Chains A and B, each alone.
Chain A
Amino acid sequence: MSNSRQAKPALYSQTLLAGLWRENPTLRLLLGMCPTLAVTAAVKPALTMGCCVIFVLLCSNIIVSLMRDLLKPHVRILMFTLTIATFVTIADLILKAFQPEMSETLGPYVPLIIVNCIIICRAEACASKNGLVISIIDAVGMGVGFTLTLCVLASIRELLATGAVFEIQVLPLARDGGWFVQWAAMGMPVGAFITLGLMLGLVNIVTGKKT
């Protein structure tokens, strides 16, 4: 009895930390690459995208976990897609209502969360096999892990492309008498590929992965 009481918090913290580092969806599982590359030119859109993904992931994991015993094997993917599409549509409407400019900046990438592999992967791998609490913790861990990665990537790109982070000027620009020359390429798709590649290489060095 006492073992099971101790095991549960350990399992919860393990599940939460898995999303942040050991099974980080972007850096370790290489899932959700489309928004990772597309919306990380600045921190604000990256953070908004991360929050949308957390919302959808949390809602879809809750629903899938609650109906896991009713799911028939051949309709399960259809059910996952239906659930995810519903919450993505709701997230899109909320964004359009309360953050119209950000909604325009993110453009089609919010509706494209429907095809984000992280969400369907967590529905299949975790929520359809586990209880509500584990599914919620998994969604929070994976969502926060994804958001943090996006924000780190976006911070590097925004800093090198504009000399600012979160639209706050950090480096003195050469055109204003400072020393920093804006590196426009970092704000373009090429900057996303290079930064992500370097980040993945760094993660491989840290984890000692050889191939």
Chain B
Amino acid sequence: MSKIKQFVQQSWLLIVASFFFGLLIAVTDAGLSPRIEQNKVNKRNRLVGALLPEARNFVALDTEIQIESAGGKTEKVEVFKAQSESGQCVGWSFNASGSGFADKIELVVAVDAKFEKIAGFAVLSSNETPGFGDQIKGDYYRSQYKGAPAGELKLVSIGDPKQIDSKIVAITGATVSSEAVVEIVSYFVTQIKEQMQKKGIIGNVQQQAS
């Protein structure tokens, strides 16, 4: 009993302060999180707008798209339909994330209306090594995705970065970051494409071809 009393005497201030500070953070977070979320949406729209220049409006899909994550769990992905001024579908965009070299890499990926070609990607957040891994944000690397087939991509160490195909030339000194982006884009694009084809949102390209 005396031990409990001593514990309370020594630590009551810490316990009270923890509750008080926790409450303070919770209130601030509750007050600011809508604005922070809106900032993220604005940023995504701006980035996707640059990838799909004809897009004027982004509408979230009503149909739920779920993909299997690396750990075997299912993950809900919000897919946005990019519409032109006349309301015509000009592409699709979605967020994709995965492990990078230093931390989680969060991307926004855009594909064309038929889900046949990648329109490009932009980095929403990453913590890759400055001067090396952070070159995934640069034009040299990103331009290789613009027009690449919306399917499995492959990272190669030597090649022509100007040739647009499923081969992505790695950034010198940042192979892990380059590979991480290739894997994230490939995985999300193929999984979402399959799901959308199954649900009839986009046409089955293989069937159409045959």
Contacts and interface: CB of A to CB of B under 8 A. Distances in A.
B164 interface: no
Contact of A96 (B14, B17, B25, B39): B39
A86 B10 contact: no
Interface string A83-105: 10110011001101110100010
Interface majority SS on A: helix, strand, loop or mixed? helix
Contacts of A108: 127
A82 B17 contact: yes
A93 B18 CA distance: 19
A79 interface: yes
Nearest to A72: B10
A107 B127 contact: yes
A97 B31 CA distance: 10
B70 interface: no
Contact of A89 (B13, B18, B25, B39): B25
Interface in B165-197: none
Contacts, number: 50
B14 A75 contact: yes
Size category of the binding interface on chain B: 10 to 19
B15 to A, nearest CB: 10
Contacts of A107: 127
A78 interface: yes
A151 B28 CA distance: 29
A97 B13 contact: no
B28 A90 contact: yes
Nearest to B126: A107
Given A86-B24, A93-B29, A108-B127, A70 B13 contact: yes
| Nearest 10 Cβ contacts at the A-B interface | A86-B21, A97-B32, A100-B39, A97-B35, A96-B36, A90-B28, A93-B32, A97-B36, A70-B13, A89-B25
30 contacts: A71-B13, A72-B10, A72-B13, A74-B10, A75-B10, A75-B11, A75-B14, A79-B13, A82-B14, A82-B18, A83-B17, A83-B21, A86-B21, A89-B28, A90-B24, A90-B25, A93-B28, A93-B29, A93-B36, A94-B28, A94-B32, A96-B36, A96-B39, A97-B36, A97-B39, A100-B39, A100-B43, A104-B125, A107-B127, A108-B127
